[in-house]
């Protein structure tokens, strides 16, 4: 009777390291597929398929390598985890974001399978079982199949219904202004121009300079001297060691860029017109749709959570499904360091006011009752309508 060699040469460290790798690969498959259809699905479609699947493919390859050589696999995993953690740390420092404990915890979790595999390699050498991982005694094939088949099955399980959903979105055929009758509100949204940032291919232009991925700070402090976006992302912290000073709700209401858009919505100027404003989080929740019907959204004023009768989607007329913007800034400041944005799926969340990504834009709405006569000064007068909320409403504090 043949002696069974079903992985008997591998001890507890190796089995634990293998199990963690399979788990991480499965998580990467879920995350990558979900994110592909959440933020990576825009024209040209499928362009970022490899980008979002890369973590799964890398972990899958490392798992197969570790099955053949735990020493080589473990060393690569530990080295990769250290390199990723250092890169992430330097990236957070560069944008002056807080360094949270989860950064180090994530680095340890990523390195742990590699540490266990290195322990397994050391154990095999000590016990004289190094040959167990060589060509004469390979790891059982079913372990290799599991390492590949499980993540792929998860990717398909998440991807197929997501693909069906995005293929049934209502496309946008007109980038002009549109009036949307929402859940208790009616808003006229800006068309293509400075009031609608929906793609980095269609940037906001001010005095000959193009801008994409604007932060809430830059939007909020546009009218504060010197008028414009330059140097206002971190309000004094740009390129220096000074702490970030974020715009307040009062500063947003007084200086926000939408007050300076001309009545036609075609130009961003140095004069106040008060024809356009940025909608609040509650207003955007109320106008989101699914398959052309209002999603029945309401923002709970006590908890700040958005509730919907049906989950909204990225579709016309509010969104352009073919473009990369999937979040809109709102006029609502959440706290001194964060403002609220909203995703096409209806999630309202606090985001750093200095944060700027190409997948976050905005869409202004027309002020129902503009001031009788535009200001000619670039500095608003104290006590006038601030432009971040409707004229008869107090600022929405979220």
Domain spans in the chain, listed from the N-terminal domain onward: 12-167, 178-366
Query: Measured between alpha carbons, how far is 155 from 25 in angstroms, rounded to an integer?
Result: 11
**Would you tell me how many other CB atoms lie within 10 Å of the CB of residue 225?**
9
Beta-sheet strands, E only, within 107-258: 178-181, 186-189, 196-197, 204-206, 209-211
H helices, E strands: number in the chain: 8, 15
Query: Measured between alpha carbons, how far is 85 from 78 in angstroms, rounded to an integer?
Result: 11
CB 385 within 8 A of CB 368: no
**Would you tell me how many other CB atoms lie within 10 Å of the CB of residue 15?**
14
Query: Measured between alpha carbons, how far is 305 from 87 in angstroms, rounded to an integer?
Result: 34
pLDDT, tens digit only, all 398 positions of the chain: 444 444 447 889 999 999 999 999 999 999 999 999 999 999 998 889 999 999 999 999 999 999 999 999 999 999 999 999 999 888 888 766 677 788 899 899 999 999 999 999 999 888 875 444 443 344 578 899 999 999 999 999 999 999 999 999 999 999 999 999 999 999 999 999 999 999 989 999 999 999 999 999 999 999 999 999 999 997 554 444 556 689 999 999 999 999 999 999 999 999 999 999 999 999 999 999 999 999 999 999 888 899 999 999 999 999 999 999 999 999 999 999 999 999 999 999 999 999 999 999 999 999 986 444 444 444 444 434 344 443 333 333 33
Specify the residue for token string 């309202």. Answer: 348
CB 372 within 8 A of CB 358: no
Two structure tokens written together for 220 = 């909020």
Query: Measured between alpha carbons, how far is 211 from 205 in angstroms, rounded to an integer?
Result: 6
Query: Measured between alpha carbons, how far is 294 from 283 in angstroms, rounded to an integer?
Result: 13
């Amino acid at each position: 009777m043949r002696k069974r060699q079903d992985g008997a040469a591998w001890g507890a460290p190796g089995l634990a390291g293998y199990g963690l790798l399979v788990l991480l690969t499965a998580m990467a498959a879920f995350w990558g597929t979900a994110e592909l259809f959440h933020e990576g699905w825009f024209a040209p479609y499928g362009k970022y398929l490899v980008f979002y699947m890369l973590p799964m493919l890398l972990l899958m390859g490392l798992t197969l390598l570790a099955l053949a050589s735990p020493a080589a696999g473990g060393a690569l995993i530990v080295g990769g985890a250290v390199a990723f953690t250092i890169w992430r740390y330097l990236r957070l420092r560069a944008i002056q974001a807080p360094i949270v404990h989860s950064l180090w915890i994530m680095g340890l979790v990523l390195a742990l399978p590699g540490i266990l595999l290195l322990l397994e390699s050391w154990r095999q050498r000590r016990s004289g079982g190094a040959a167990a991982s060589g060509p004469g005694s390979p790891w059982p094939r079913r372990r290799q199949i599991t390492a590949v088949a499980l993540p792929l099955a998860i990717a398909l399980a998440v991807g197929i219904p997501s693909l069906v959903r995005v293929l049934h979105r209502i496309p946008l055929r007109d980038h002009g202004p549109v009036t949307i009758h929402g859940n208790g509100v009616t808003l006229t949204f800006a068309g293509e121009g400075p009031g609608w940032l929906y793609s980095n291919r269609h940037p906001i232009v001010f005095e000959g300079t193009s801008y994409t991925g604007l932060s809430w700070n830059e939007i909020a402090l546009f009218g504060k001297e010197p008028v414009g976006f330059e140097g206002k992302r971190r309000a004094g912290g740009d390129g220096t060691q000074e702490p970030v000073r974020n715009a307040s709700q009062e500063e947003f209401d007084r200086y926000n860029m939408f007050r300076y858009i001309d009545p036609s919505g075609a130009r961003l100027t140095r004069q106040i017109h008060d024809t356009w404003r940025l909608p609040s989080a509650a207003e955007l929740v109320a106008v989101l749709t699914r398959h052309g019907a209002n999603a029945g959204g309401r923002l709970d004023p006590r908890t700040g959570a958005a509730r919907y009768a049906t989950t909204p989607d990225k579709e016309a007329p509010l969104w352009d499904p073919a473009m990369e913007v999937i979040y809109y800034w709102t006029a609502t400041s959440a706290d001194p360091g964060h403002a609220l944005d909203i995703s096409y799926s209806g999630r309202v969340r606090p985001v750093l006011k200095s944060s700027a990504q190409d997948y976050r834009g905005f869409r202004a709405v027309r002020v129902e009752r503009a001031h009788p006569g535009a200001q000619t000064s670039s500095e608003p007068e104290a006590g006038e309508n601030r432009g971040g909320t409707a004229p008869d409403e107090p600022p929405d504090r979220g």
